[in-house]
Structures are given as C-alpha cells and as structure tokens.
Amino acid sequence: MQQRIMQIIKRENLSIRNFERKISTSSGVISKSLRFNTDFSVGILIKIAEIFPQYSAEWLLRGKGPMLKEDSSNSELDEVSKNYKQIAEAQERLITSLEKQIERLEAELAKRDAPMDGDAGCAGADMSETA
C-alpha cells in the first residue's frame, strides 16, 4: 500500500508534507508510515479516497484493478456528449421549424404573384382594344 500512496503523491506532484496537509493529517504521519513500512489507519485511507476521488479505492487498498477510476472520466464524457446531443436536437427542431416557415412564406408569395400576372394580361388586352 505504501507504494501505491507514493504513486499518488508523485502523480499529484506533491511533496509528502504537502500530501499530509492536503489530507489534513499531522506532520510526519505519512512520512513515518512510509519510512517504517507501517500500516495506515482507516481514517487516513478514507481521507485519501475522499480528497483524491479519481483514484480507485480498490486499487489503493488491494492493488487490484486500474489506478484511476474509469467511471469519473467516462461520466464526464457522457455528460458532455449528452449536452451536445441536446443542442443538436434543439438545432434540428429549429431547422425543421424554419424550413416549414419558409415553405409557408413561399406559398403565400406564389399566391400573391399569381393574381398579379393574370391582371397584367387582362390590362394589356383592354389597352389593345382601345387603341
């Protein structure tokens, strides 16, 4: 277990003293346990797990499995992915709505233009008869 705690300390780029401060233990508790190869108290192990949640407790306690929790990074990716999916769905709904609005407006324009073309032809016929 001492080796695994040293791995955390090195990975977090901390001195042993700064690590002790970070987990709120007395000065020298970690360094003495590491130096004399003694067991850590349950309280210290709980503090390490709480302060450094990215590390697997199974790995810390038993040396089994991956050092880092896969769930924390995957859950963050899942959350980002979920957010992008929601944005994409909202944009698709907006695009569909705008396409329908464009079709409606084009149809209105076509209706307005149709009578004007017919009126122009009639007016031209009237003028030729009077001339």
**Residue 43, domain CATH:** 1.10.260
Q: How many structural domains comprise the chain?
A: 1
Euclidean distance between CA atoms 53 and 60, whole angstroms: 11
Q: Count the alpha carbons within 13 Å of 50 in the hemisphere toward its beta carbon.
A: 9
Residue 86 resides in a domain: no
Residue 9 resides in a domain: yes
Q: Give the residue numbers spanning the domain of 12.
A: 2-68
pLDDT digits (tens, 9 = 90+) for 101-130: 999 999 999 988 876 555 555 554 455 445
Residue 37 resides in a domain: yes
Does residue 131 surpass a pLDDT of 50? no
Q: What is the pTM of this model?
A: 0.52
Indicate the pLDDT class of residue 94, thresholds 50, 70 and 90.
confident
String of DSSP letters for 1-17: -HHHHHHHHHHTT--HH
